[in-house]
Structure 1
Amino acid sequence: MPSYIPHLIIPDFDYIHFEKTALANPHSLYRMNLIQGQLEIMPPSPVHTETDEREFDIIGQLYTWVFANRNLVGKASASQGCYTLPNTIDDPKPTILGPDASVVLSARWNTLSNADRRRAFPPVAPNFVVELRLQSQSPQDFHRKMELWINGGVEEGIAIDRYANLPEVRIYTLNPDTNSVVWQPLMNPAQVPSQVLAGFVLNMRNIY
């Protein structure tokens, strides 16, 4: 039996439909992503409270860094914040993803117009994202989302899979020589240092 719960897929969705659906359900426990015109709805985990606690721990650690480095940060968000990947912005079927935690550094955020900054799903890729695999995600879907992030412009993605036989963290980046997504697997690490957010180290003690 799979260890994940199948999610719902709705085809032929666009930016307007996604925005209306998200704004009409601001307190929904369901996670939504729009991937090339296809809406993916993931049900909440059966252990939703435990998942929330782990997300809060990640967000708390990240926001401690954000508050200490406000001059470097343009925008930081938790799981309710979504972004339109800039490499799909002119596509009739754009991709809109929501990370568990993310940071857009000010150098990147400041390139946006005021109108773009005010959009519900700004057309920018965070410099840094953290994703915690839900029980409603298969390992393949989780990996695919990380590839979308990196191909969309994210510099560093930390993917945490506590449902693996041995808890695994993958550090996703783009290889500039081959222009391809690469990842470094770490088995049950105690800490994960960032190469993009100077001085940030994610303590994994309460996340597994």
Structure 2
Amino acid sequence: MAEQRNSNTLGLLLRRLLKERSLSMRKFSEQTGIDTATISRIINDKRKATPQHLEKFADCLEVPFINLFEAAGYPIEQRQEESETDSDIHTSVDAIQAFLKSSNVYDDEFSVANVEQKLESYGLYAQTEEGKNSILKDFDEKIKSVGSIGPFISKLKELYEKFASEKGTLFELTLIGSTLLYFIIPVDVIPDYLFPIGYLDDAIAVQLTTKTLLKKIT
């Protein structure tokens, strides 16, 4: 997705994505629930897209929200010489913090440490029968409620398959279980109902877990 971040404006990026997906403006409007006139003005740089617009665009086009967030001109600090996973995490954190500063929907300070602390507590719960049953019973329903596909959801499904089949060490399954619970339970570091940023911290949780699992393998 790095190539998308090189687009000069959100309008150029959206034009390219619509063309690649053979989506007309009218169809895009129907799928996002945003009227055609508004989409046209955003694409032609006559109106700034709100985070709410960007979330719907990202969901429909199956691209990371943070890519559109950056293309729309919202401030995201760039960091060099990092692994791809570290870079994605930092970019997500920057996107969240930038959004929080421009809104009044969330008063607390957000950090990766908050997510890590929550994951640790969920790890203990994931080892209990109640926690395991919650994951097996509620995961599919939560996926349906999110109604999204893409790298974040695909990775979650991979983790769920591994957890459900119990393929892994106790450490790995506990780590995976904590991430799945983080996703399933709506009140995490950033509550899921806080649109459009409610699932960005879930994405960070998945990235942190993936990074740890990769380190374990290597």
Whether TM exceeds 0.5 here: the answer is: no
Larger radius of gyration: 2
Q: Relative to total residues, which structure has the larger helix share, 1 or 2?
A: 2
TM-score (norm 1): 0.28
TM-score (normalizing by structure 2): 0.27
